[in-house]
Amino acid sequence: MSTVLLEVDDLEVTFRRSAGPGRRAASVPAVRGVSFQLEAGTTLGIAGESGSGKSTIARTLMGINKPSGGSMRLNGADVGALRGRELAQYRQTMQMIFQDPYDSLDPRMKVSETLLEAIKLRKNKPASPLNEVYQLLEKVGLSKSFASRRPRELSGGQRQRVSIARALCVDPRLILCDEAVSALDVSVRAQVLNLLKDLQEDLGLAYLFISHDLSTLRFMADYVGIMYLGKIVELGTRDEIFERPQHPYTRALLSAVPEPVVIDRTVRLPRVRLTGEPPSSTNPPTGCSFHPRCPLAQEICRTTAPARRVTSSGQLAACHFAEPELVVAEA
């Protein structure tokens, strides 16, 4: 179980914004030194506010955006060094499911056409592609009759199932889900999440699951990373993050979940309320990026960026005050 499938080390992605009317050219560091590992067959959830760089990580892994620094290794192979056919091969090991189920399928193509197109990209082509389409549809819980339909005849959940089937066409080992269920109704969302879990068990898939919804991550993820302004500020197992959060930002996010996250609280956590907007990523604050909004901020936070270190409860956190003693003191 513990083979590392994906290893991201110190990944940086910077967007260049060209000058336009009333604004200067600027570079926007969207992802600033992100590192994590993903084991085969497990799920890493990534949460954070809008603009924190979650989707950029997924898009960079898929090759849609170019990294400006750091490395990505898939099955030990450096992705940045791959070219041509190897790159195409690599891409198929990893697939992506998009947020908007109404835009991720070509509206002019029947479901069967969409899937056949993807099946044809396989290295060893199946004897009967159409049979393969039916099998894939069955895998994602759709009947054969869906093959002849067009996207506009499908509901959001059905479309997302077709998107999943399309991703499965090329036999990926890792699926990036970028807000894959955020646009769905709550009841449908649960069904799609269960489908993803079943597929994970059957096919041994790994997921990088990006969501702003913490309850979704609590249900799906084995590991959770919390992002703030392009950095992962806290990274640990699901239980560590949800039950013993160390970083004040993680605590703030957990406090913001509207329905009470029912947690067996051995230590009572103080409620942390976030004020203000996240700062602009063109011009991130000095020191710890979170300090302007942090209830615990001290002088050191303004001057020195905290290093990510293992805390006493096990997970990694980037905070000068990430110690359990502090939690007790606050309570």
Partner 1 sequence: MSEAVPAAAAVDPLALGDKPVRAREVLRSLKKDPAALASIVVLLALAVIALAAPLLSPHDPLQTFPDIGLGPQGQPLPPGTPGFLLGTDALGRDVLSRLIYGAQVSLVIGIVANGLATAFGVLVGIVAGYFGGVVEAILMRITDVVISFPILLLCTALIAVTTRSTFNVIIVIALIYWTTLARIIRSMVVSLKEREFVVASQTLGLSHRSIMWRHILPHLVPAIIVYTTLGVASSILIESALSFLGIGVPIPQPSWGQMISDGSTYFQIAPWMLFIPGICLILTVMAFNLVGDWLSDMLNSQTPLAR
In the complex, the residues that contact partner 1 under the rule CB under 8 A are: 62-64, 88, 91-92, 95-96, 98-100, 102-108, 117-118, 121, 141-143, 145, 148-150, 152-155, 157-158, 163, 166, 169-170, 185, 188, 191
Per-residue burial over 246-255, b if 16 or more Cβ lie within 10 Å, else e, is bbbbbbbbbe
Closer by beta carbon to partner 1, 170 or else 252: 170
Q: How far is the CB of 166 from partner 1 (least distance, A)?
A: 7
Closer by beta carbon to partner 1, 133 or else 224: 133
Q: How far is the CB of 121 from partner 1 (least distance, A)?
A: 5
Q: How far apart are the C-alpha atoms of 13 and 80, rounded to whole Å?
A: 13
Closer by beta carbon to partner 1, 208 or else 305: 208
Closer by beta carbon to partner 1, 60 or else 246: 60
Closer by beta carbon to partner 1, 100 or else 243: 100
Q: How far is the CB of 325 from partner 1 (least distance, A)?
A: 46
Q: How far apart are the C-alpha atoms of 218 and 207, rounded to whole Å?
A: 14
- The answer to whether the CB of 104 falls within 8 A of the CB of 156 is no
- The answer to whether the CB of 2 falls within 8 A of the CB of 39 is yes
Q: How far is the CB of 185 from partner 1 (least distance, A)?
A: 7
Q: How far apart are the C-alpha atoms of 186 and 279, rounded to whole Å?
A: 31
CA angle 66, 69, 74 (to 5 degrees): 70
Q: How far is the CB of 160 from partner 1 (least distance, A)?
A: 10
Closer by beta carbon to partner 1, 92 or else 289: 92
Q: How far apart are the C-alpha atoms of 130 and 138, rounded to whole Å?
A: 13
**Tokens linked to 179:** 């807000």
CA angle 214, 219, 30 (to 5 degrees): 40
Q: How far is the CB of 131 from partner 1 (least distance, A)?
A: 20
Number of H helices, E strands in the chain: 11, 12
Look at residue 101 and give its three-state secondary structure: coil
